[in-house]
Structure 1
Amino acid sequence: MNLASPRSLFFLAFLACAAMLGTGYYLQYAIGLEPCPLCIVQRIFFALAGVFSLLAAIHGPQPAGRRIYAGLVLLSSLGGAFTAARQVWLQTLPHDQLPSCLPPLDYMLETMPFAETLRQIFHGSADCAEVTWTLLSLSIPEWSLLAFVAFALFALYQLFRRG
């Protein structure tokens, strides 16, 4: 099996997405860090990129199909990068400029219209600005942003590669 084949690369991208999700769940359930609404949205985008990558790895499409899968991974990665960048920006704001805290996500989904819930989530809150864990001086959203940029570059490579 050629390690640089589109099928292999999509499978490696799937494994990377699974590792990112696994790390998030480890931090939540083993370390005790509760995810904010923006973190949950980032998990959804990681899951989408992972599912599209796994489908591409299983399907092994011709170049036109590979471009479709790469486009879906790219859209998922850009959505995740936007969300992570928003959270990184919130982390740089002074505390007096932060939006107020939001109610839990499950409560918002039960009591608010879906469009209003999405607006509130993407607006962010003080919960999203709190830095509770770092690795090599980078917060979780900063690591997520780097990962989403890497996935987007991978998708662009798959989108424009020949053969």
Structure 2
Amino acid sequence: MNLLEDFSPGLFVMQAVILIILIFLLGKFAWKPILNALNEREEGIADALKAAENAKIEMAQLEASNEAAAQEARAQRDEMLKEAREIKEKMISDAAEQAQEKADKIIANAQEAIEAEKKAALADIKSQVAELSVEIAEKVTRKELSEKDAQLALIDKMLTEANI
């Protein structure tokens, strides 16, 4: 009740006029900059969201590109490994063929040498047999024996001498 007793219409009008002037001044000088700042901030946030979305899309594209590059690199690596295996297998088979050819050549040369030695040994044996036969024939003819037993004993003796 105290409030109603202290009420002054002049003071009320004056405060109303000051309030209207204050609202007018705030509207002219404060509200526009505040609203502009809020609008700019809102636009900045919207731009940042768009930029983030674009970055997300670019990141997805970059990841896809990286994955494609990785797959291509893996394919190239696999191709290189395949070529290396083929080269290794070819080198091994070539080396095996060369080794087989050399071994065959060495075996053929050894067989030829063995055959030559065999022929030489047979020729030597034949010449020795012929010499022995001639010697035996000479000795038999030198001694003309009438008895057959004496001739056989002489031949046996000469054979034993030839074996020594």
Same fold (TM over 0.5): no
Query: More relative contact order in 1 or in 2 (CA 8 Å, sep 6+)?
Result: 1
Q: Which protein has the larger Cα radius of gyration, Structure 1 or Structure 2?
A: 2
TM-score normalized by the length of structure 1? 0.21
